[in-house]
Structure 1
C-alpha cells in the first residue's frame, strides 16, 4: 500500500520538476534568442551602413579594383569578419585573408546579390565553428555590382548560454531540494494526525472507547478527529443506554412474572378458598399477562423497525372514526384515574392513506404516556385538524411535563428520563412509524404544566 505521505511528496515533486524544466527551458530559449537577435541587429546595421556608404561615395569606382581599400575601410570599424564579394559570387577580399574557390553556397550572399539583405546562421565549412552572417548588396546606379558580408562567431554566445544553463540547472536543483524538504514537512503535518487518528480508531475497533483523537489543527483532519471522538462518545452513551434498557426490561419482565408465578402457585396449592380472592388472583394474572404481551410486542416492533423489516399496510383511514374508537377504548382507564379525556376534532377531517393498525398504535402509545404522567383531576385532550396538504393530530395533557434537558432525547432509542417508566422504546417506535408514513412527530413540554405532542401526516 502506497502511503499518503509518499503520494503527496511525489505529486509535489512531480509538479515542481515539470515547472522547473519548463521555466528553465523557456528562460534558456529566451536568453539564446536575446543574444542572437542582438548579434543579428548589430550585423544588419553594420552591413546596411557599409552598403549605403558604398552607394553614396564609391559606386563610381570599379569594385574589383577598390576591393582591398574598401575592405580596409569596413573592417576598421568592426570586430566581425568582412568579405567583399563580386556580382558573380566570388570573394574579392576577406579581412581574415581566406580565399574561396567558386561561388559561395550561403543563402545570405545569394539574397544580397539578388538585391536584398540576407541572413545566415550555421557552422563554418572549414572550422565547423558556429557563426552568423549578414550580407548586403553593393549597388552602382541602382544595379547590384557585389555584396558586403559580415560574419561573426557564436562560440562566445554559446559559452554564455551554457553558463546560464548551468546556473539555471543549479538553481532548479536547489528549488527541487527545497520543495522536497517543504513537501516532506508539510505532508508530515497531514499524515501525522491521520496516523494518530488511525491508531485511535483501531483502539476503538478493539473496544477501547475511552481512547480519544487529539485535534492539532482546525482543518479537515481536525474535523475528522472531532467526528471520531463524537462517535466514540455516542457509542459509549448508547452502550450505557442499552445496558440500562436491558436492566429495565429485566425488571419490567420480572415484576409481572413474579406476580403470575406467585398467584399460580397459590391457586395450585389451594391456599385460597375464598372465591373473591381467587377471582382477584386470576384478574391479576390476566392483567400481568396482557402487560407482558404488550412489552413483548414493543420489543418485536422495535426489532423489526431497527432491521427495516416493517412494511405498512396502507388503506383508507377515516380519521374521525379512528380517534373516536381509541377514545372509547381508553375512557374507562381515564375515569379510573379521575382524568378528563377529551376528543375535539373538526367536522371536515379528510380521509387519509395510512396503516390503520400502526396509526392506532401510535395514538394509543401517546395517550398512554399522557394518562401515565397526568395526575388525578388533570385533563388529556386529543384533537385533529386539516391544514393544506396535511393533517395534524395533537395530544395535550396537564401532567408533570418533561425537563428541558431531557426533551431533545426522549425520542432516542433506549432513552428513559428521570420520571419515565416502561421500556424506553415506545416513543422511538412511534417516531419511526410516523416517519414511515412520511410524517413528523414533534414534542413540546413545560415542566409542571404539561406536554403537547403533534403528529403531522400527509393527506
Structure 2
C-alpha cells in the first residue's frame, strides 16, 4: 500500500484591515453644524435650566419671606398687646379681619388651638379646618411652618404660612395664617422663562447663520481645490487656484498652485528627457546599423574601411552602454537601491586617475588642463572609490563639453580641517542665473544645446550626498562655472598611522569617449 503525504499549503499572511471610512452626512458643513450646534444646544439648555431654577427659587423665596415676615410680626404684636384675655384677642382679630386691605393678594386667617378657622378675610368661618398641613405643624411644634403646594379644597397652587399665637403667659391660644395664590408668581416665572427661551432661540439662529457663512467660506474653496485636483489628475497640469483669503486655506491654495506648477514643469522635463534620450539612442543606433549594413553588403573588401566601420561601431556601442548604465544608476537612485561598496581609500588617487584619463582627450580638443594639489595633505575618505571616480569623470566631461570655449580647465584638491574639497572650474559660457537652481534636478537641460540625457548631474549629486558630502555649483554667465565637491575626511586615517603624501599610481592610461551627461 502506498501512502501519499499531502503538502500542507502555507497560510497566506493576514491582510491588513482597510481603514474604516466613516459616513459623513452633509459633508463638512453637516459635521460642523452638528458638532457646533450640539455644543451650543447643551449650553443653551443649561442656561434655561439655571435661569428657571434661579428665577423660581428667587420668586418663591420672596413670597415665603414676605408671608413669614407678616405672620411673625402679627403674632408678636398680639403676644405683646392683645392676649391678656381671650375676648381681647378675639375682638382685635375681628377688627384686623374687617380692616384688612390686601384681600386681592392675600388671605389672613386666625385659628384656634385645634386648627379650626375662627376668622378669615375671605369669610371662611364656622369652624372649618385649615386645609394645608402648615397649620397643624405650627400648632404642634409652636414654630412657624410653611406650605407650598396645591390646596386640597380649591386645587390651586398656593403658599401658606402659619405662626402660633401665644398669650402673655406663654400659653398657646391659636395661630395666625397667611395664604396667597402662586398663579401670578408662576405666570411671572413663565414669562421670564419664555423670554430667556426666545433669546436662546435668537442666539441659536445667529449661531446657525454665522456658522453657515463661515462653513461656506471653507467649503467653497475646498470644493474648488477638489475640482482643480481632479483636473490635475486628468492631465491638465499648470491650472491654478484663485487665492481669496490669506489664511490656512490661502496657504493650501498656494501649495496646490505650486504643486501644479511643479508637476507641469516635471512633465515638460520628462517629455524633453524622453525626446532627448530617444535622439541620443537613435544616433548611435543609426551609426551602428548603417555601418553594419555597409559591411554586410560587401564593404569589407577595403581593410581600412572595415577598421573604420568597426571602430565606429565599437565607439557607438560603448556610448550606448554608458547611457544604459547611467539610466540604471538613475533608476537605482529613484528606487533607493543605490548601494555603495564602502572602504577606506585615498580620494586624490581617484581624482588623479580621472584627470590622467581625460588629459590627452582635452589636449586634442585644444583645452589646457591645470591640476593643483597640496601633496603634504592626506585625502582618505570612507566611501566607494568607483563611484567617486564616476563623479569626477562626469564633472570633467561636463566641463569639457560646456566649457570648451574657454580652452582651460582648473582642478584643485585641498584639505580644510575635517573636510576634503575638490573643485573643477571651466572658463566657458557659464550658466544663466535663472537656471542655476535647477541644474542638479533630474531631466533638466536648461537652454544649452549640448547633447545629453539631463540626468548625469542628478546622479552625480546623489552619489556625493550618499557619501555625506555636498556638490555646489557656482557660475557667472560668460565667465565659466565652478563645481565644488566637499566630503568628510575619514576619522580613521590617524589611527592607521597614515602620514605624508601618497604617490599617485594611475591605472593603465586610456582615452575615454565623453559621456552624454549634463
| 2:97 pairs with 1:69 | no
**CA offsets 1:387-411 (integer angstroms, 9 cap, x no match):** 44x5444333333321101001111
Q: What are the equivalent positions in structure 2 for 1:38-437 lying under 5 Å apart?
A: 38-59=62-83, 61-62=84-85, 66-67=89-90, 69-70=92-93, 72-73=95-96, 76=100, 78=102, 79-85=105-111, 91-98=117-124, 106=133, 110=137, 114=141, 116-140=143-167, 143=170, 145=172, 146-209=174-237, 211-269=239-297, 271=299, 278-337=306-365, 338-345=367-374, 347-349=376-378, 351-375=380-404, 377-388=407-418, 390-419=419-448, 420-437=450-467
Instruction: Give, in whole Å, the separation in 2 of the partners of 1:262 and 1:87.
Output: 138
**CA offsets 1:208-244 (integer angstroms, 9 cap, x no match):** 3364434344333333333333323222222221121
Question: Using a 3 Å threshold, how does the CA distance of structure 1 residues 363 and 90 change in structure 2: closer, same or farther?
Answer: farther
| 2:56 pairs with 1:32 | yes
Question: Using a 3 Å threshold, how does the CA distance of structure 1 residues 87 and 244 change in structure 2: closer, same or farther?
Answer: same
Structure 1, unaligned stretches of length 5 or more? none
Instruction: Give, in whole Å, the separation in 1 of the partners of 2:87 and 2:469.
Output: 111
**CA offsets 1:15-44 (integer angstroms, 9 cap, x no match):** 333333222222222322232222123223
**CA offsets 1:159-207 (integer angstroms, 9 cap, x no match):** 1222333343344444434443443344333222322332332233222
Q: CA deviation at 1:270?
A: 5.3
Q: CA deviation at 1:108?
A: 7.7
Question: Using a 3 Å threshold, how does the CA distance of structure 1 residues 133 and 261 change in structure 2: closer, same or farther?
Answer: same
Instruction: Give, in whole Å, the separation in 2 of the partners of 1:347 and 1:68.
Output: 134
Number of equivalenced pairs: 457
Structure 1 SS opposite 2:430: coil
Instruction: Give, in whole Å, the separation in 2 of the partners of 1:204 and 1:270.
Output: 56
Residue pair 2:115, 2:139 contacting (<8 A) in 1 also: no
Structure 2 SS opposite 1:448: coil
**CA offsets 1:398-452 (integer angstroms, 9 cap, x no match):** 3332110100111111110222431111111122233334443322222222322
Residue pair 1:63, 1:86 contacting (<8 A) in 2 also: no
Structure 2, unaligned stretches of length 5 or more? 1-23, 491-518
Question: Using a 3 Å threshold, how does the CA distance of structure 1 residues 102 and 77 change in structure 2: closer, same or farther?
Answer: closer
Q: CA deviation at 1:298?
A: 0.9
Structure 2 SS opposite 1:310: coil
TM score, norm. by length of structure 2: 0.77
Residue pair 1:197, 1:213 contacting (<8 A) in 2 also: yes
Structure 2 SS opposite 1:66: helix
TM score, norm. by length of structure 1: 0.86
2:516 corresponds to: none
The CA RMSD measured in Å over matched residues stands at 3.3
Instruction: Give, in whole Å, the separation in 1 of the partners of 2:420 and 2:112.
Output: 110
Question: Using a 3 Å threshold, how does the CA distance of structure 1 residues 318 and 87 change in structure 2: closer, same or farther?
Answer: farther
Q: CA deviation at 1:269?
A: 4.6
Question: Using a 3 Å threshold, how does the CA distance of structure 1 residues 108 and 246 change in structure 2: closer, same or farther?
Answer: farther
Question: Using a 3 Å threshold, how does the CA distance of structure 1 residues 391 and 98 change in structure 2: closer, same or farther?
Answer: farther
Instruction: Give, in whole Å, the separation in 2 of the partners of 1:438 and 1:144.
Output: 108
Instruction: Give, in whole Å, the separation in 2 of the partners of 1:90 and 1:315.
Output: 117
Question: Using a 3 Å threshold, how does the CA distance of structure 1 residues 7 and 144 change in structure 2: closer, same or farther?
Answer: farther
| 2:48 pairs with 1:18 | no
Instruction: Give, in whole Å, the separation in 2 of the partners of 1:176 and 1:214.
Output: 33
Instruction: Give, in whole Å, the separation in 2 of the partners of 1:219 and 1:401.
Output: 41
Residue pair 1:346, 1:384 contacting (<8 A) in 2 also: no
Instruction: Give, in whole Å, the separation in 2 of the partners of 1:141 and 1:106.
Output: 26
Instruction: Give, in whole Å, the separation in 2 of the partners of 1:385 and 1:86.
Output: 119
